[in-house]
């Protein structure tokens, strides 16, 4: 499991800009208005081969009467509690403020690595002014400029050195299947039906499962760890402190599993929040199985209802449509074992290794017959391909002009890989490299 790093500080010091730079994707909202980050954002990053998860927290304001700011404070405290290390960000333009001192006082009580990042240090004058942050009593500080990345290398070097080593999971050799989805979609009932006992509390109240829990499944020739997670709600709907904690644990479960079984309520449909869960799993390169639960409750079913429902889901998940969709009913136990068989097959697909000779024998004739379109009068010639030694399927295609290969052709290559080698349910990455 990867370490978690929380980025904390008062509002408007540049935390979201720093977060976006580290995850190399504009995910957190960045705005000059104080307090734009009302809740936490999650992302993954790595430095010098060490991977870690990032939490961008809202700005911390101790003692505020503002209801939003009091909720932000609760989130920050939970993020600090869950994190393995904390980056405390301050702003050299404003200097040391009473809010900075309040946050520093809180952090001095935390027995975890604290790294003080002084942001917006983009000239020598500001470098001199940063000295005053020694007064916070947190030791060495790191002058950075999150807008252009200046100084972040030294900060990340220190972060990696400070992060505790992760303990190996005793059963890490077993596949991990995470059961995820919105609250009250039937996740705990699904696991109870599989293992044949009431292991988890099941009620009609959304959010009964407060944490992620593991169950070792060893029946009918299958053996794996099954992880039941708290339901992931839309962030605006999350009210309780415990639920913030549950969402974080669910995100961690997705990050650290092999296959995600995304359970959705057939009566509610494949809505925006379920799609967010799907794309979170896809971004993390996990195997995916979509389970449409409560199919027995869908009224007025006709011959083509299931096909139409499936087509609707595939339309929403384009271009990654090569995903198994299983219609189940936990109540009647309809197709629940097919769901597990499908998940095991997806795990095997994700672990599949194709011999280089076989890959070249199949793919090179296809690519020779349909080469990349000419670009600026230049032609791309693909000479060789190989599967990379990664936990999930990634392929490198070596050619003379990789910079001229566009995304539509990469999707074409991915589709041909899927046609000839079964990668159902698994994100596939295709890279073009200089020969």
In the structure, what pLDDT confidence band is assigned to residue 65 with cuts at 50, 70 and 90?
Answer: very low
Residue pair 233/273 in contact (Cβ under 8 Å)? The answer is yes
Burial code (b: 16+ CB inside 10 Å, e: under 16) for 215-226 equals: bebeeeeeebbb
Binding-site members are 9-16, 56-60, 119-122, 181-188, 228-232, 293-296
In the structure, what pLDDT confidence band is assigned to residue 17 with cuts at 50, 70 and 90?
Answer: confident
pLDDT of residue 69: 45
Once rounded to an integer, what is the mean pLDDT over residues 291-297? 88
Residue with tokens 């020739």: 221
pLDDT of residue 283: 85
In the structure, what pLDDT confidence band is assigned to residue 58 with cuts at 50, 70 and 90?
Answer: low
Q: Which numeric CATH code is attached to 356-434?
A: 3.30.300.20
Bridge partner list, 314 = none
pLDDT of residue 197: 54
Binding-site members for GTP are 9-16, 56-60, 119-122, 181-188, 228-232, 293-296
Query: Poorest-confidence range of 52-56, 245-249, 319-323?
Result: 245-249
pLDDT of residue 272: 79
Percent of the chain with pLDDT over 70: 78
Once rounded to an integer, what is the mean pLDDT over residues 155-160? 91
pLDDT of 199 over the 70 cut? no
Percent of the chain with pLDDT over 90: 24
Of the two residues 16 and 326, the one the predictor is more confident about is 326
CA distance 320 to 12: 37
In the structure, what pLDDT confidence band is assigned to residue 241 with cuts at 50, 70 and 90?
Answer: very low
In the structure, what pLDDT confidence band is assigned to residue 311 with cuts at 50, 70 and 90?
Answer: very high
pLDDT of residue 46: 80
pLDDT of residue 214: 63
pLDDT of 332 over the 60 cut? yes
pLDDT of 231 over the 50 cut? no
Q: Which numeric CATH code is attached to 3-162?
A: 3.40.50.300
pLDDT of 105 over the 70 cut? yes
CA distance 247 to 230: 7
In the structure, what pLDDT confidence band is assigned to residue 202 with cuts at 50, 70 and 90?
Answer: very low
Once rounded to an integer, what is the mean pLDDT over residues 166-192? 74
- The whole-chain average pLDDT of the chain stands at 78
Once rounded to an integer, what is the mean pLDDT over residues 245-271? 78
Residue 389 CB partners (closer than 8 Å, separation 6+) = none
Identify the helix (H) or strand (E) that includes residue 47.
strand 41-47
Once rounded to an integer, what is the mean pLDDT over residues 162-178? 71
In this chain, the answer to whether the domains covering 176-351 and 356-434 adopt an identical fold is no
Of the two residues 338 and 183, the one the predictor is more confident about is 338
pLDDT of 254 over the 80 cut? yes
Once rounded to an integer, what is the mean pLDDT over residues 75-100? 81
Q: What is the pLDDT of residues 106-141, one digit of tens each?
A: 888 888 899 999 999 888 888 888 899 998 888 889
Structure tokens that stand for 35 in this block: 């307090």
pLDDT of residue 129: 87
pLDDT of residue 428: 93
pLDDT of residue 42: 66
pLDDT of 34 over the 50 cut? no
Burial code (b: 16+ CB inside 10 Å, e: under 16) for 233-256 equals: beeeebeeeebbbbbbbbbbbbbb
Per-position DSSP letters for 351-363, written without gaps between them: H----HHHHHHHH
Once rounded to an integer, what is the mean pLDDT over residues 225-253? 55
- What is 176-351's CATH number, 3.40.50.720, 1.10.10.10, 3.40.50.300, 3.90.25.10? 3.40.50.300
pLDDT of residue 185: 79
- What is the torsional sign of CA 435, 356, 256, 2? negative
Once rounded to an integer, what is the mean pLDDT over residues 216-221? 73
Please report, for the chain, the start and end positions of each structural domain, with discontinuous segments joined by +: 3-162, 176-351, 356-434
pLDDT of residue 290: 94
pLDDT of residue 325: 94
């Amino acid at each position: 499991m990867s370490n978690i790093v929380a980025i904390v500080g008062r509002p408007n010091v540049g935390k979201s800009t720093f977060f976006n730079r580290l995850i190399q994707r504009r995910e957190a909202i960045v705005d000059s208005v104080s307090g734009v980050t009302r809740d936490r954002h999650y992302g993954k990053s790595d430095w010098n081969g060490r991977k870690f998860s990032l939490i961008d927290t809202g700005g911390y304001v101790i003692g505020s009467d503002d209801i939003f700011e009091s909720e932000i404070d609760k989130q920050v405290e939970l993020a600090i509690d869950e994190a393995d290390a904390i980056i405390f960000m301050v702003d050299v333009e404003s200097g040391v403020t009473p809010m900075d001192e309040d946050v520093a006082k809180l952090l001095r009580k935390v027995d975890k690595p604290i790294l003080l990042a002084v942001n917006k240090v983009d000239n020598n004058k500001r470098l001199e002014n940063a000295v005053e942050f020694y007064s916070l009593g947190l030791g060495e500080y790191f002058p950075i400029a999150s807008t252009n990345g200046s100084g972040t290398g030294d900060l990340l070097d220190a972060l990696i050195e400070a992060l505790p080593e992760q303990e190996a999971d005793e059963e890490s050799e077993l596949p991990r299947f995470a059961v995820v989805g919105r609250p009250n979609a039937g996740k705990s009932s699904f696991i109870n039906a599989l293992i044949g006992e009431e292991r988890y509390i099941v009620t009609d109240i959304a959010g009964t499962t407060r944490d992620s829990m593991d169950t070792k499944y060893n029946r009918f020739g299958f053996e794996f760890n099954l992880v039941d997670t708290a339901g992931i709600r839309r962030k605006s709907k999350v009210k309780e402190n415990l639920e913030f904690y549950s969402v974080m644990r669910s995100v961690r479960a997705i990050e650290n599993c092999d296959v995600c079984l995304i359970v959705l309520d057939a009566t509610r449909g494949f809505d925006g929040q379920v799609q967010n869960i799907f794309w979170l799993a896809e971004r993390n390169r996990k195997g995916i199985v979509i389970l449409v639960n409560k199919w027995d409750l869908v009224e007025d079913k006709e011959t083509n209802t299931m096909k139409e429902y499936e087509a609707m889901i595939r339309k929403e998940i384009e271009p990654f449509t090569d995903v198994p969709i299983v219609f189940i009913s936990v109540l009647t136990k309809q197709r629940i074992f097919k769901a597990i068989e499908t998940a095991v097959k997806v795990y095997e697909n994700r672990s599949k290794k194709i011999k280089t000779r076989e890959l070249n024998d199949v793919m090179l004739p296809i690519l020779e017959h349909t080469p990349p379109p000419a670009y600026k009068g230049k032609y791309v010639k693909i000479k060789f391909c190989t599967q990379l030694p990664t936990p999930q399927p990634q392929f490198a295609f070596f050619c003379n002009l990789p910079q001229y290969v566009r995304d539509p052709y990469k999707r074409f290559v991915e589709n041909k890989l899927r046609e000839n080698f079964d990668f159902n349910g698994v994100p596939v990455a295709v890279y073009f490299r200089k020969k």
